[in-house]
C-alpha cells in the first residue's frame, strides 16, 4: 500500500496549508478492482456531487457559453450504466450542504448558476426515471451529512465504501482553461487556484468524515473501466485519527 493514491498533481502531496491536506497526504491507498477484489456485491454509496463534478468536468460538455444540459445528463446516465453493466450494487446520495461542489473550480462566476440548475434537473430526472428500470438503486437527497435523516440512512444501510471525488482536476481541463483565458488574466488564474484548493479541502473533509464513521473511500476521478472490472484508488484509515478536522462546507 502507499499514501495518496489519487490522480492528483504533485502539489496535492506537498500542499499542507490545511490540516485535511496533511491528513490526506498520509492516508494509505491501493489501486484495485473495487468489485472483483474489494466489495463484491456489497452496497456502496456514490456521493452525488462528486458524480456531477466528475461528469461536468468532461471537456466535451459545454456550459460556457453553451448550456448542454442533455449532454451532461447523458454523461451521468452513462457512468451509472457502466456500473450497472458490471453488476455493481450502489445507491446515490446528494447532500444539499455540498451542492456547490458539483461546480468545476475553473468555472466562471457567470455560469455557476447553470451548474446548479443542471444539478437540480439531473437529480429530478434520476429520482423520477431510475426507479422505473432499476428500483434497487436508491437516489436520495439529504440536507447535510449531520442531519437526522442521513444518520438514519447510514444506520439502516451497511455501506462498504463511498465513491467520492478528491477535488483534483484533470491536467487536460487545466490546459483547456488556460487556453480559453485572455493573456492578461493573472488575477483570474489566482482565483481559479484558490477555488480548486477550496474544492480539494471540502471533498477531503467529507472523505475524512466518512472514514471517521468507518466507511472507506474510493476515488471517482481516475476510475477506469477495464472489461468487467471497475479499477480505481481505495483509501482507508487503518485506525481512528487523532486529528481534529472540521467541516467547512455550508
Q: What is the enclosing helix (H) or strand (E) of 94? A: strand 89-95
Report the alpha-carbon distance of residue 179 to residue 18 in Å, rounded.
30
137-175 pLDDT, tens digit per residue, is 999 999 999 999 999 999 999 999 999 999 998 765 555
Peptide bond into 152 cis (omega under 30): no
Contact (CB, 8 A) for 102 and 119: yes
Query: pLDDT tens per residue, the chain (250 residues)?
Result: 555 544 443 344 334 468 999 999 999 999 999 999 999 999 999 999 999 999 999 888 887 777 788 899 999 999 999 999 999 999 999 999 999 999 999 888 888 999 999 999 999 999 999 999 999 999 999 999 999 999 999 999 999 999 999 999 876 555 555 555 555 555 555 566 788 899 999 999 999 999 999 999 999 999 999 999 999 999 987 655 555 666 665 4
Across 47-72, b (16+ Cβ under 10 Å) vs e yields bbbbbbbbbbbbeebebeeebbbebb
Tell me the fold of 2-236. Answer: Rossmann fold (3.40.50)
DSSP-H helix ranges across 9-47:
11-14, 19-25
Amino acid at each position: 500500500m502507499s499514501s495518496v493514491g489519487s490522480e492528483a498533481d504533485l502539489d496535492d502531496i506537498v500542499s499542507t496549508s490545511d490540516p485535511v491536506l496533511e491528513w490526506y497526504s498520509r492516508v494509505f491507498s491501493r489501486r484495485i478492482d473495487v468489485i472483483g477484489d474489494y466489495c463484491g456485491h456489497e452496497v456502496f454509496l456514490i456521493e452525488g456531487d462528486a458524480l456531477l463534478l466528475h461528469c461536468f468536468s468532461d471537456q466535451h460538455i459545454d456550459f460556457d457559453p453553451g448550456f448542454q444540459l442533455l449532454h451532461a445528463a447523458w454523461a451521468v446516465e452513462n457512468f451509472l450504466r457502466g456500473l450497472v453493466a458490471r453488476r455493481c450494487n450502489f445507491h446515490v446520495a446528494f447532500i444539499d450542504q455540498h451542492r456547490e461542489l458539483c461546480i468545476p473550480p475553473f468555472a466562471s462566476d457567470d455560469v455557476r448558476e447553470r451548474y446548479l440548475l443542471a444539478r437540480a434537473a439531473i437529480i429530478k430526472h434520476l429520482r423520477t426515471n431510475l426507479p422505473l428500470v432499476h428500483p434497487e438503486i436508491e437516489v436520495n437527497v439529504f440536507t447535510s451529512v449531520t442531519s437526522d435523516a442521513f444518520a438514519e440512512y447510514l444506520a439502516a444501510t451497511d455501506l462498504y465504501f463511498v465513491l467520492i471525488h478528491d477535488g483534483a482536476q484533470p491536467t487536460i481541463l487545466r490546459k483547456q482553461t488556460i487556453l480559453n483565458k485572455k493573456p492578461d488574466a493573472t488575477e483570474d488564474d489566482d482565483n481559479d487556484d484558490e477555488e480548486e484548493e477550496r474544492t480539494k479541502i471540502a471533498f477531503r473533509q467529507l472523505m475524512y468524515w466518512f472514514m471517521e464513521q468507518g466507511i472507506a473511500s474510493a476515488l471517482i476521478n481516475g476510475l477506469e473501466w477495464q472489461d468487467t472490472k471497475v479499477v480505481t484508488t481505495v483509501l482507508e484509515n487503518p485506525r481512528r485519527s487523532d486529528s481534529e478536522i472540521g467541516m467547512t462546507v455550508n
